[in-house]
Amino acid sequence: MDHDGQRGSSTPSVVLPSLLSKRAKLQEELRNIERQVYDMETSYLQDPSQCGNVLKGFEGFLSSSKNTALLKRSRKFQPEDRLFSLSSVTSPAAEEIAAGRDDGKSDYGPGRPKGGGYFANGQGKPKKGRAREAKRMRHSSEPDFDYDDDPDVAPSLFRFLCSDFPRLSRREYLSYPLPPAAPALVKGILISFRMNILEKLKMQKKEPDEGKAPKVEVPVHWLETSDSVTRRYEFEPDGYLSVKVVNDSRPVYHRVVESFLNKFFPSGYPYSVNEGYLRYTQFRALQHLSSAALSVLSTQSLLFAAGLRPTPAQATAVSWILKDGMQHMGKLICSNLGARMDSEPKRWRILADVLYDLGTGLEVLSPLCPHLFLEVAGLGNFAKGMAVVAARATRLPIYSSFAKEGNLSDLFAKGEAISTLFNVVGIGVGIQLAATLCSSMQGKLVVGPLLSIIHVYSVVEEMRAAPVNTLNPQRTAMIVADFLKTGKVSGPADLRYREDLLFPGRLIEDAGNVKVGRALHKVVKPSKLNEWKEMFPEEKFVLSHGNKWCDMLLEHNATAEDALRGWLVAAFAARMEKSLNEPIGSVLQDAYDRMNTMFTPFLSELQAKGWHTDRFLDGTGSRFVF
């Protein structure tokens, strides 16, 4: 209100000079802006380094080869190409066109309208192509913006076109944000051009250049010579490396040995297997040879015993079928002992071969009592059935102990190849013995036991050579005892010859005389159990000290790490009890604290030696659940 009162009270002679002064300042500012736009537009349209512009298009931007001669030459343009300057009727470009129209000159060349090229004002006749472009760039539904109201539109847009845009790569341009103040018409042009680039890039990806010759991939290969052997190494197209012997000047003996190793030993031998594999394989071959020879003698004896029976052939056939049925019965019974075989695979492998030799021996003796053919042969087949299941069940843990580079399948395949080879050799030896030394019953009674002794001895040596790396009660006790004595952790190869293969459950005093797997109700009273869990709530083991040994009970989800922790606590407590002459209950907490201080480095060294600490194989030992 005060402002209106002042205006009303002011005389026109006072207000008019002030308004004229403001108008002059605005006109001067407008002329400066228009001159700035004019200069930037001229630089943009004449810049030879550009691959195009918003008026002529950007076809050169997509071209991979540029004509440098054309780029060095400045571009020619007409006044009507000044799209941004002509948006203002007072710009220098508009004044030039007006001056040319007044003089009656045409600045636009042949075919251009004589009264200016900006046909939106109705003067002159636009070209058909330009009219089509205008229709394509601007829809009837778009509002008619008055760009004179915002003098910063043109400078900001030209700053984008002249400074930012020429430095952008294709991918950068496709994600470059448009100037927020850009006119709708120019935005439409840039967006259209952007879509054109995307389409052409897609076409370039889908359609390879027809002018370019297809690339010929040259295989990468090289020759290596070592030990008088030249090998050619080459990378296949699928990425695999192929090796081919080009020249081999070694003696025939060396070539035969290498061929044998390639067929019957894992790839990369001896570096791809653990220590002891060669000794294991040697005794395995001897085992299969003696077993096959003994099998031939037993089969001969069975046929002989069946022929001596004073019964019709039909009854003999029925007895033979019943004999084979007893073998299946033995397989079913032995299948229930799988958990024990996981814990002690070596022991059960030896027991399997002892049972096999026992069954074979009964078959060899069957001619001495032909009237008891079904009983003797059936019992022999029953023992052999149990032996087959135990041997097959323990095969995988033994092979796994030798796998060093995840090559378990290769080990299994080559091991079976060796078994097959020496089974065939053993059958030949058995046929020769049956025709000579063992043609009589006396010969069988002499050769049979010898072959059985060789067979069992070979199996024992096989198992002693195998470095089984899973933790069971016996191996855990030996590791703890060695650690407390020497401060070092023994590896699987260090313990393989010290394991008790026949009686693995023996107690080790240096490891605390720990016994695992007894039933909970036979070992701990409920009150003692609650007291233990209150003292060590986070542990998954329970210790109960008796007069002769210490019982350790494990929870159902306890791992080998939990068993090792309990074993160390029991061993430390036993040592403190002897040295301090104090009851075991009073030193239990000190033993637990000592275990915690050294368990982490102990476990790290244990895993570095190759032991598996994710599971503890205690056979069919009892476990508890709270």
Predicted local distance difference test score (pLDDT) of residue 245: 78
Location of structure tokens 């005093």 = 509
- Looking at the predicted structure, is the pLDDT value of residue 119 above 50? no
The Cα–Cα gap between 382 and 359 comes to 7
Please state the pTM of the whole predicted model: 0.59
- Looking at the predicted structure, is the pLDDT value of residue 60 above 70? no
- Looking at the predicted structure, is the pLDDT value of residue 112 above 80? no
Higher pLDDT, 74 or 17: 17
Helix (H, G, I), strand (E, B) or coil at 346: helix
Residues 6+ apart with CB under 8 A from 85: 34, 37, 38, 41, 91, 92, 93, 94
Predicted local distance difference test score (pLDDT) of residue 494: 92
What is the torsional sign of CA 454, 458, 460, 464?
positive
pLDDT interval class at 419 (50, 70, 90) = very high
HSE at residue 423, side-chain half, CA atoms within 13 A, is 7
Do the Cβ atoms of 154 and 37 come closer than 8 Å?
Answer: yes
Look at residues 573, 562, 553, 574 and name the one whose alpha carbon lies nearest to residue 599: 562
Predicted local distance difference test score (pLDDT) of residue 198: 56
* Burial of 419 (C-beta count, 10 Å sphere; 0-12/13-18/19+): middle
Other CB atoms closer than 10 Å to residue 401's CB: what's the count? 26
Give the pLDDT confidence of 596-620 residue by residue, as tens digits.
999 999 999 999 999 999 889 888 7
Length of the chain: 626
Give the pLDDT confidence of 84-93 residue by residue, as tens digits.
777 777 788 7
Higher pLDDT, 582 or 532: 532
Predicted local distance difference test score (pLDDT) of residue 2: 46
Show the DSSP H helices in 166-211 as ranges: 170-174, 184-206
Higher pLDDT, 374 or 81: 374
Residue 591, strand partner residues = none
Location of structure tokens 């190759």 = 610
Q: Identify the structural domains of the chain with CATH numbers, from first to last.
A: 277-465 (1.20.1250), 473-609 (no CATH)
pLDDT interval class at 139 (50, 70, 90) = very low
Predicted local distance difference test score (pLDDT) of residue 70: 47
Give the pLDDT confidence of 540-558 residue by residue, as tens digits.
998 888 888 898 989 888 9
Do the Cβ atoms of 41 and 158 come closer than 8 Å?
Answer: yes
Predicted local distance difference test score (pLDDT) of residue 483: 93
Predicted local distance difference test score (pLDDT) of residue 271: 82
Q: Does residue 110 have a cis bond before it (omega within 30 degrees)?
A: no
Mean pLDDT of 139-153: 44
Residues 6+ apart with CB under 8 A from 391: 349, 352, 353, 356
Do the Cβ atoms of 398 and 468 come closer than 8 Å?
Answer: yes
pLDDT interval class at 517 (50, 70, 90) = confident
Residue 477's alpha-carbon distances to 452, 509, 556, in angstroms, are 33, 9, 20
Among 92-96, 294-298, 433-437, the range scoring the smallest mean pLDDT is: 92-96
pLDDT interval class at 54 (50, 70, 90) = low
Location of structure tokens 């070992």 = 523
Predicted local distance difference test score (pLDDT) of residue 220: 75
Number of helices and strands in the chain (H, E): 23, 8
Higher pLDDT, 564 or 218: 564
Give the pLDDT confidence of 438-463 residue by residue, as tens digits.
988 999 999 999 999 999 999 999 99
Among 212-226, 346-360, 516-530, the range scoring the smallest mean pLDDT is: 212-226
The Cα–Cα gap between 10 and 403 comes to 106
**361, amino acid identity:** G
Give the largest Cα separation in the chain, rounded.
155
The Cα–Cα gap between 427 and 423 comes to 6
Location of structure tokens 């004019």 = 38
Predicted local distance difference test score (pLDDT) of residue 200: 55
The Cα–Cα gap between 195 and 200 comes to 9
Do the Cβ atoms of 305 and 367 come closer than 8 Å?
Answer: yes
Give the pLDDT confidence of 489-498 residue by residue, as tens digits.
999 999 999 9
Q: Considering the chain, what percentage of its residues have pLDDT values greater than 70? A: 71
Q: Which of 10-24, 126-140, 160-174, 589-603 has the highest mean pLDDT?
A: 589-603
Among 130-139, 485-494, 569-578, the range scoring the smallest mean pLDDT is: 130-139
Interhelix angle 373-402/277-308, rounded to 10 degrees, is 170
Residues 6+ apart with CB under 8 A from 543: 532, 550, 551, 552, 566, 569, 570, 573, 588
Other CB atoms closer than 10 Å to residue 593's CB: what's the count? 11
CA dihedral 97, 98, 101, 106 (to 10 degrees): -10
Give the pLDDT confidence of 267-308 residue by residue, as tens digits.
878 888 888 999 999 999 999 999 999 989 988 888 888 776
The Cα–Cα gap between 18 and 21 comes to 5
The Cα–Cα gap between 239 and 170 comes to 34
The Cα–Cα gap between 333 and 318 comes to 23
Among 239-253, 400-414, 474-488, 565-579, the range scoring the smallest mean pLDDT is: 239-253
- Looking at the predicted structure, is the pLDDT value of residue 356 above 70? yes
Mean pLDDT of 351-372: 91
* DSSP H or E stretch at residue 81: none
The Cα–Cα gap between 463 and 283 comes to 9
The Cα–Cα gap between 30 and 91 comes to 9
- Looking at the predicted structure, is the pLDDT value of residue 154 above 70? no
- Looking at the predicted structure, is the pLDDT value of residue 184 above 80? no
Q: Considering the chain, what percentage of its residues have pLDDT values greater than 90? A: 26
Predicted local distance difference test score (pLDDT) of residue 251: 83
Predicted local distance difference test score (pLDDT) of residue 147: 42
pLDDT interval class at 351 (50, 70, 90) = very high
The Cα–Cα gap between 324 and 346 comes to 27
Predicted local distance difference test score (pLDDT) of residue 61: 54
Predicted local distance difference test score (pLDDT) of residue 90: 79
Average pLDDT over the chain, rounded to whole? 76
* DSSP H or E stretch at residue 442: helix 441-465
- Looking at the predicted structure, is the pLDDT value of residue 236 above 80? no
* DSSP H or E stretch at residue 137: helix 128-137
Look at residues 87, 85, 98, 99 and name the one whose alpha carbon lies nearest to residue 45: 85
Look at residues 263, 380, 284 and name the one whose alpha carbon lies nearest to residue 327: 380
